[in-house]
Chains A and B, each alone.
Chain A
Amino acid sequence: MSALVTFLHFIPLSLVITLVYNCSRYESTSAILKHATRSFLYLVGFMSLMFGILWGCSYDL
């Protein structure tokens, strides 16, 4: 398994975690989906930002 494929597991895993977490917070389907979408975007955005910073720092090493 290439490193990229391993790395890309974080996307479905983030989706699963945010969905299950928000399911345990709210009962209304619309509230769950709304909060889960927001959490997912925050999580993936934050991880991508961190990845970008670390990738930039390690560029040409």
Chain B
Amino acid sequence: MFDSRIPQKNRSLAAFLAFLVPGLGHYYQGRIFKASVYAVCIIGTYTYGMAMADGNGVYTHQVNGSQSMRNFSFLAQAGVGSVGLVAVLQSQRYFAQNFRGENIYPIEEGIDQQVVAQLVYNNPDEGALEDVPGQLVIPPQARSADVIEGEFIASIDGQETRFLVAHPSCNESIISAKSTWQLDCSLREEVNGQVNTVGRLETEIPREFLNHFCVPPDVNTIDSWYNRVGGKKYDLAVTMTMIAGLLNILAIWDCFDGPAHGYGDEEEKTDSNKKPEEVIEPEAN
């Protein structure tokens, strides 16, 4: 209920602002203390939960092959509207893309990135070099180029070693919940003026933030989050975002309709206004 002492302003707008960002509606109404409490408590809990889950855990659907299933915890998480709306938009973008297994490697942009690569040789005697740090440089080229080439400047035992790479490819959709995309290249060596393919290079390239944040994940991606973060910790993180979303519903309602029990000083007023009970003296016989 709204007390005359509580500024309402445009309460529908205030409720919408509170839905978007916890505390913003109260700030608009001039209720600064409450705005601060809601902002710190709700945004803090939500952010902490998301940080615990490595920025994951808020999505509208989970995907299993060609099927998608609603994520019911999102019903609670959507209480914080700004993130909820982003998740809905990301879901629309994800399901609207028409991925047919094409190579999404950005030929015209090229790559100049610090990576950790796996080098696998065709000759079993040479084996594989795992987790090799280095700089992958593939210059931008025209889409019509016959061979796309670059080099991987690796640091092996403190020594700089250069590898020729070619034919970069990545067969993943552009928008995906995975925070990286896997790049495969053929590994080449020049012997007596002749360039031969001797193996392949695999590495993970960070995906753009807007192409993976709040995007519906597939089951394998969720499994990888569980394994990376830890099952219990991931569950706790998601629960915290759910609690924050539900608490924001209370804040939205407070913005729209005022505090449920009134201003809060009614009990004190009633106590101070109470008249002392009259003492009835017994009649003398």
Residue ID in chain B nearest A18 by CB atoms: B41
What is the distance, in angstroms, from B5's C-beta to the closest C-beta of chain A?
7
Which of A9, A17, A20, A29 is B38 in contact with, Cβ under 8 Å? A20
The interface residues of chain A lying within 8 Å CB-to-CB of B37 are: 19-20, 23, 32
Q: Give bound CA distance, A1 to B37, whole Å.
A: 28
Assuming the contacts A1-B233, A6-B233, asked whether A13 and B264 have C-beta atoms less than 8 A apart, the reply is no
Q: Give bound CA distance, A21 to B41, whole Å.
A: 11
Interface size in chain A (residues, C-beta < 8 A): 20
Q: Give bound CA distance, A28 to B233, whole Å.
A: 37
Q: Which residues A3-56 have CB closer than 8 A to chain B? A: 6, 9, 13, 16-17, 19-21, 23-32, 35
Residues on A lying within 8 angstroms of B by beta carbon are 1, 6, 9, 13, 16-17, 19-21, 23-32, 35
Assuming the contacts A13-B45, A16-B44, A25-B260, asked whether A6 and B250 have C-beta atoms less than 8 A apart, the reply is no
- The reply to whether the CB of B127 lies closer than 8 angstroms to some CB of chain A is no
- The reply to whether the CB of B129 lies closer than 8 angstroms to some CB of chain A is no
Q: Chain B: interface residue count, which band?
A: 20 to 34
Residue ID in chain A nearest B34 by CB atoms: A23
Which of A6, A13, A24, A32 is B251 in contact with, Cβ under 8 Å? A24
- The reply to whether the CB of B263 lies closer than 8 angstroms to some CB of chain A is yes
| A-B pairs with beta carbons under 8 Å apart, 19 shown | A9-B240, A16-B42, A20-B38, A20-B250, A21-B247, A23-B251, A23-B254, A23-B259, A24-B260, A25-B261, A25-B264, A26-B261, A27-B6, A27-B262, A27-B264, A28-B263, A30-B264, A31-B263, A32-B37
Assuming the contacts A6-B232, A6-B236, A27-B5, asked whether A16 and B259 have C-beta atoms less than 8 A apart, the reply is no
The interface residues of chain B lying within 8 Å CB-to-CB of A29 are: 33
Which of B240, B260, B265 is A31 in contact with, Cβ under 8 Å? B265
Closest 7 CB pairs of A and B: A31-B264, A26-B264, A28-B264, A24-B250, A24-B254, A16-B41, A20-B247
Q: Give bound CA distance, A31 to B236, whole Å.
A: 31
The interface residues of chain A lying within 8 Å CB-to-CB of B140 are: none
Q: Give bound CA distance, A33 to B128, whole Å.
A: 63
Which of B233, B247, B260, B262 is A17 in contact with, Cβ under 8 Å? B247
- The reply to whether the CB of B110 lies closer than 8 angstroms to some CB of chain A is no
- Do B258 and A20 touch across chains, with their CB atoms under 8 A apart? no
Q: Which residues B17-47 have CB closer than 8 A to chain A? A: 31, 33-34, 37-38, 41-42, 44-45
Q: Give bound CA distance, A13 to B31, whole Å.
A: 23
- The reply to whether the CB of B230 lies closer than 8 angstroms to some CB of chain A is yes
Assuming the contacts A9-B236, A29-B33, A31-B265, asked whether A24 and B45 have C-beta atoms less than 8 A apart, the reply is no
- The reply to whether the CB of B253 lies closer than 8 angstroms to some CB of chain A is yes
Residue ID in chain A nearest B33 by CB atoms: A29
